[in-house]
Amino acid sequence: MRFLCSCSAALILLAGCGSKTAAPDPFAYDKNRPLAVHDAGVALSGAKAAVHVVTFEGARHVNAFLLVPRSAGRHPAVLFLHGSGGNREDLLLPAAELANRGAVTMTISQPNDAQSFRPLVVNARRALDVLAGRRDVDAGELGVVGFSLGAQTAAILAGDEPRLKAVGILSGRGGPVPVYWLRRAQAPLFLEAGRSDSQVGRAGLERLIAAAPGHPRVRWYAAGHGLNRRAFDDQVAWQAQQLGLR
């Protein structure tokens, strides 16, 4: 996938080439546009949570899975973002594990033909709108978990989406746009990387980790780009802790 990375393109997305004035948010969107959420029903029902098949309108039509705990009351909510070439099924297992702990979770299918980060980020922000607007969600307790390309999107959200209370970044590449936005993050961060990741490479992983402000949690695993079960279990446990779940 080709992303904008020249001064005439990427730096416009970042902040403008040397401009001292604040640039408009390149990921702004019409918050008054209807989300047009459609719940097609339950695809899978478990003892602690149910998986709903959902669509909504983002930068384009978005297919999603919504996982809803059976417990009563308002819950924190976490959005899961897959990597390049993936879809809403890819992170369904960690989303289900977190739903079983009491969070409303969502996985979405992102476009695999995007020429910039904008549709990816707008889709993610609209997904957060869907979650925050639910009666069973505490809009003050939102998190995001992104893997690979989804990790780059999560890094941008960390600096551009003030609603987030926890940001998980797994196997993320340190390109100029994610690095720029991650440096502006306010939410707690947990970055995970594989020591044998030949797809991103050590240098690319370390660039994104180095951009994280404050004292982020960082963990390296004896794994490749896809990480391993322990990495995803650690992320689920951390998200649960940050969002007040036990």
| pLDDT tens-place string over residues 123-156 | 999 999 999 999 999 999 999 999 999 999 999 9
Determine the Cα–Cα distance for residues 84 and 86; give it in Å rounded to an integer.
Answer: 5
213 has a pLDDT exceeding 60: yes
Q: What is the overall mean pLDDT for the chain?
A: 92
pLDDT digits (tens, 9 = 90+) for 63-104: 999 999 999 999 999 999 999 999 999 999 999 999 999 999
| Contact residues for 102 (Cβ-Cβ < 8 A; gap 6+) | 69, 71, 75, 76, 240, 245, 246
Determine the Cα–Cα distance for residues 140 and 73; give it in Å rounded to an integer.
Answer: 14
Determine the Cα–Cα distance for residues 170 and 32; give it in Å rounded to an integer.
Answer: 32
Is the domain spanning 33-242 CATH 3.30.420.40? The answer is no
**Structure confidence at residue 208 (pLDDT):** 98
Determine the Cα–Cα distance for residues 117 and 206; give it in Å rounded to an integer.
Answer: 21
Question: pLDDT tier at 114 (50, 70, 90 boundaries)?
Answer: confident
Determine the Cα–Cα distance for residues 109 and 149; give it in Å rounded to an integer.
Answer: 12
Determine the Cα–Cα distance for residues 102 and 185; give it in Å rounded to an integer.
Answer: 26
The helix (run of H) or strand (run of E) holding residue 63 is strand 61-69
57 has a pLDDT exceeding 60: yes
Question: pLDDT tier at 23 (50, 70, 90 boundaries)?
Answer: confident
Measured from the Cβ of residue 160, the count of other Cβ atoms closer than 10 Å reads 19
Share of the chain above pLDDT 90, in %: 88
Average of per-residue pLDDT across 45-66: 97
